[in-house]
Amino acid sequence: MTAQSPVTTGDRLVDTPAPALLRAALDAASEAVLLCGAADDKILLVNAAASALVPELRPGLAAGAGPLPGLAAAIAAGQDSFTDEFAGRHLHGQRRPLGDDHYGWYLRDRTDEVARAGALQAERARTAFLAEAGRRLSASLHQGRCLRITAELAVAHLADAAIVVLPVKRRQSMWVRLVAGGPVDEGRLRENVLPDVPGLVEVLGGFPPIPSKWLDAAQAPDWLLPGDFGPVGALLVTPLPGNAEPAGALILARRGAEAQFSPDDEMLARIFAARAGAAISAAGLYREQVDTTAVLQADLLPPELPQPDGIELVGSYQAAKEALRIGGDFYDVFGPTEHSSDTVIALGDVCGKGPEAAVLTGKVRQTLRALRLVEAKPDEMLRVLNQALLQSARQHRFVTMVVGSVSRADHGRVRLNLATGGHPPPLVLRTDGTVEEVPTSGTLIGAVARTVVHPAEVELAPGELCLLYSDGLTEARGGPTGAEEYGEARLRDALSGCRGMPGAAAVERIRQLVSDWVHGGARDDIAMLAVRAPDRTQLSLRTGARNASPFALDAPRRGDRRVRQRS
């Protein structure tokens, strides 16, 4: 095949337009065409469009030897299409056979198409990033978590390292740092090192951010990033907008000499920082509220119980389904004082619910604490409390409660002097499993000027238990219909079933039975306080006690004096 141009070969082309005309027609086409010989893949003709696209392509050259590696690979692999990049242009080539001996590569410039697709993809990535940021940042009200999430998101989408710095408080700044692939570092920075980071003080001061290109990354101090991070190529310091003052600053770093933050990157970082700042400052507000509540709440929560010698005390408090964990039920225990060896116990229920009721329980408990110091008897305590409440209460609120003084008696027994003011009388679980009601009664506290209180005394033998409870327990509605009250009969049965259990196990069991009864329905506050005379022996729950002696010595728990007395 020696012809210079394929159009002149073969008989079929006789009486056809001159080659020059065909050539002109090809040159006028907008599509780039390379005509090649099928046998040796040599280029026979390059039209004007193809020359403009890739000037290096010339007739006589092997098609694969040109500057297009994609084309070479397609020829080598016998493929019919290729894509390639040349001088910033994206090319797509399609091979079409032209008779048996020739074929053509038809090239198309798809640079604009690629750029559009790229822009669309970048836009989608930005949207997805901001959507993820919104979702994750709005999820937590915990400031530390918000800071960590901010750093994580920034490292995943914006930079090789991210540092969040909070505003200075007491000459220190909290900061969180994350480098891609590493763990989150948290700590505090002294105020005087902050000016080391270019642009940081300005941003924390509420001034507009300085564009990345004006920040000299080389000036970043050594402490800013871990030693193995390498040289910082580009630095961006973005404000985290907060509640009318900056919530902090976000420092982004990219490594490598070529690194930079484009104006688009800076804009995206600012949009992200706005969301992060809102979340961080909301979490800050929440924390202030929580701290305040915690201080106010501390005195209203159930107390740590003292564990006086020879008396087992167990308390349990379950607030109605509210997050605050405080309500109108309460119990308290005041241990022995210098003048009195008695332990004073109290359990009560303020009418109403929630914080208002809780505040009154705090007052009642404080009054009782004072009365305990003047060694008032339980029934006297109730009378004085009644007067105090009647004189002080702004709104009409009354209380029902049981007060008792607990002391040790001989033979490991425990004696209780109990007085009730309008409250369900305590129950006593005896060794044989019978349950008795303590015969005490009295009128509401804080309702009428004159109260009537009939105190009662009970003695517990070792292993016996006295349960003080609030009516939230017996009035818990549930059961199969969801509306039936738990009731005293069931409570007595449940208590009877606790025979031989340690106090903690007994109280836990009753809590559990009531919780099962209400089946997660709306609950009132439930308070329980159990006083138990500890077992003197490993009182067996099975038939045939393991230990034959009724007074098995249990030295660590009982005083030496008592042991000597016995022996």
**Interacting residues toward another protein by CB under 8 A:** 135-136, 139-145, 149, 286, 290, 321-323, 325, 479-483, 489-490, 493, 497-502, 504-506, 508-509, 511-512, 515-516, 519-520, 535, 538-542, 545-546, 554, 556-557
Between 402 and 526, name the residue whose CB sits nearer to another protein.
526
Token pair 């004696």 is found at 415
Both tokens assigned to 257: 């000499």
Between 96 and 321, name the residue whose CB sits nearer to another protein.
321
d(CA 222, CA 231): 10
Between 135 and 170, name the residue whose CB sits nearer to another protein.
135
CB count in 10 Å sphere of residue 257: 8
Token pair 């410039």 is found at 109
Beta strands in 180-281 (DSSP E): 185-190, 232-240, 248-255
- Contact assessment for residue 250 and residue 273, using Cβ atoms and an 8 Å cutoff: yes
Between 421 and 503, name the residue whose CB sits nearer to another protein.
503
**Nearest Cα to 37, choosing from 105, 85, 132?**
105
Both tokens assigned to 465: 């238990």
Q: How far is the CB of 286 from another protein (least distance, A)?
A: 7
Torsion of Cα atoms, 517 then 523 then 529 then 530, to 10°: 0
Q: How far is the CB of 293 from another protein (least distance, A)?
A: 10
* C-alpha to C-alpha distances, 85 to 68, 89, 122, nearest whole angstrom: 8, 6, 20
Q: How far is the CB of 243 from another protein (least distance, A)?
A: 18
Between 30 and 543, name the residue whose CB sits nearer to another protein.
543
d(CA 384, CA 407): 22
- Contact assessment for residue 200 and residue 194, using Cβ atoms and an 8 Å cutoff: yes
Alpha helices in 354-486 (DSSP H): 354-373, 378-392, 471-474
Task: Encode 149-158: b = buried (16+ Cβ within 10 Å), e = exposed.
Answer: bbbebbbebb
Q: How far is the CB of 137 from another protein (least distance, A)?
A: 9
d(CA 544, CA 386): 51
Sheet bearing 343-350, strands edge to edge:
329-334, 343-350, 399-408, 414-421, 456-460
**DSSP reduced 3-state for 251:** strand
Between 417 and 537, name the residue whose CB sits nearer to another protein.
537
Between 26 and 174, name the residue whose CB sits nearer to another protein.
174
Q: How far is the CB of 268 from another protein (least distance, A)?
A: 22
- End-to-end Cα, the chain, rounded Å: 128
Q: How far is the CB of 280 from another protein (least distance, A)?
A: 12
**DSSP reduced 3-state for 299:** coil
Between 325 and 397, name the residue whose CB sits nearer to another protein.
325
Q: How far is the CB of 501 from another protein (least distance, A)?
A: 5
Q: How far is the CB of 485 from another protein (least distance, A)?
A: 13
d(CA 417, CA 403): 8
Q: How far is the CB of 502 from another protein (least distance, A)?
A: 5
Amino acid present at 52: A
Between 352 and 500, name the residue whose CB sits nearer to another protein.
500
Q: How far is the CB of 431 from another protein (least distance, A)?
A: 13
Supply the DSSP symbol for 423: S
**DSSP reduced 3-state for 206:** coil
Between 75 and 358, name the residue whose CB sits nearer to another protein.
358
Q: How far is the CB of 326 from another protein (least distance, A)?
A: 12
Between 229 and 286, name the residue whose CB sits nearer to another protein.
286
- Contact assessment for residue 251 and residue 237, using Cβ atoms and an 8 Å cutoff: yes
d(CA 333, CA 27): 103
d(CA 321, CA 325): 8
Between 208 and 556, name the residue whose CB sits nearer to another protein.
556
**Nearest Cα to 327, choosing from 290, 363, 301?**
301
- Contact assessment for residue 412 and residue 456, using Cβ atoms and an 8 Å cutoff: no
Q: How far is the CB of 323 from another protein (least distance, A)?
A: 4
Both tokens assigned to 58: 């010339």
Q: How far is the CB of 144 from another protein (least distance, A)?
A: 5
Between 60 and 480, name the residue whose CB sits nearer to another protein.
480
